[in-house]
Amino acid sequence: METEQEEPHLKYSKYLPQYNFPRVSEDIICSIIDATKCTICLMIMAYPVTLHCGHSFCKSCIYQCSRCPLCKSTFNKKLPKKNIILSSIIELQKVVCPANLNDPSLPCKATDLTIKNIESHVKECGYILLRCKCGVSIPRNLFLKSDSNCLCRLIVCKFCSKFYLERIISLHSDICKKKEVLCESCGTKYLQENKGKHLEEECFVSCPFQIIGCLAEINKEFLSHHLKESVFLHGRLGLRRQFPDLFSRGEWMTKAIRMKIEDLCMNSAKLGLSKFYFEKTFNCFVINQMKIELCSYT
């Protein structure tokens, strides 16, 4: 017996096109009993009713008449109830699956099919041909499989960016968006339908300069901005790691000069110089001093 996994048409039936089963025709009946045919529509009676004259017809067919089509006798428009005996005879007539009518290999092996249960069988039979949007007819059990050929256009899945036939894109997308994936950047798992939210709110990575002491945890979207804005910080951290003695002297020198600048700034109005001038002069001085110190190490 096939499993549900092997029968996607049963598990995902809502993704299949509608198959409208017509009224039972003579084509699928194994042995026709003449008395079960309606002489008005020439089909097997549906909801048979028997008039007072003894003749039987489909209820919907005879309701449109004012006389019996066979004996011309009149009858009351208030039709009798369903003929239970005749209905039972009709329902028990053996039929074959419609899937076998045009296929000499007789793919459907279902047995004991009758007019009573044929409609429920046809709703699930994997060999019934379903019509794709592109016009190609495909057996129901192959309709949702990607390797079944048809003329549908390819559509890209917005969750995995792969192309799939229009016939199965809805099914694939609904499964794909619930798939859990591992983020290559931060190492956490998320559902593919939440990829945007994950990248914006949850995906935080360590700064590449963590090895030299930068402890920043940044959203991946802003990593490049952090690296651009932290060039001076990363330079100082690198200097501290590679030349700790030089860095210590530089820090001491920086602190001493800053204190001197603060004193000078108090008298900046008298000198006609701005604090910005002192800060700029200070930075240039520190950089030059560090270059001199660094040269002594090389």
CA distance 252 to 258: 10
Q: Does residue 159 contact residue 173 with C-beta atoms inside 8 Å?
A: yes
Q: What is the pLDDT of residues 190-238, one digit of tens each?
A: 999 998 888 888 888 888 888 888 888 888 778 888 888 888 888 888 8
More confident residue, 281 or 241: 241
> What are the start-end ranges of the H helices in 177-243?
195-197, 223-229, 231-242
- What are the backbone dihedrals phi and psi of residue 155, each rounded to the nearest 5 degrees, phi first? -125, 140
Confidence class of residue 266 from pLDDT cuts 50, 70 and 90?
low
Letter for the amino acid at 185? S
According to the model, what pLDDT value does residue 264 have? Answer: 65
CA atoms within 13 Å, Cβ hemisphere of 277: 9
Q: What is the pLDDT of residue 265?
A: 64
Q: What is the pLDDT of residues 36-95, one digit of tens each?
A: 899 999 889 989 999 999 999 999 999 889 899 999 999 887 888 999 999 999 999 999
State the Cα–Cα distance between residues 260 and 28, nearest whole angstrom.
105
CA 43 – CA 36 distance, rounded (Å)? 8
The percent helix, strand, coil of the chain (3-state, each to 5) is 45, 15, 40
139-157: per-residue pLDDT in tens?
Answer: 999 999 999 989 999 999 9
Strand partners, 95: 29
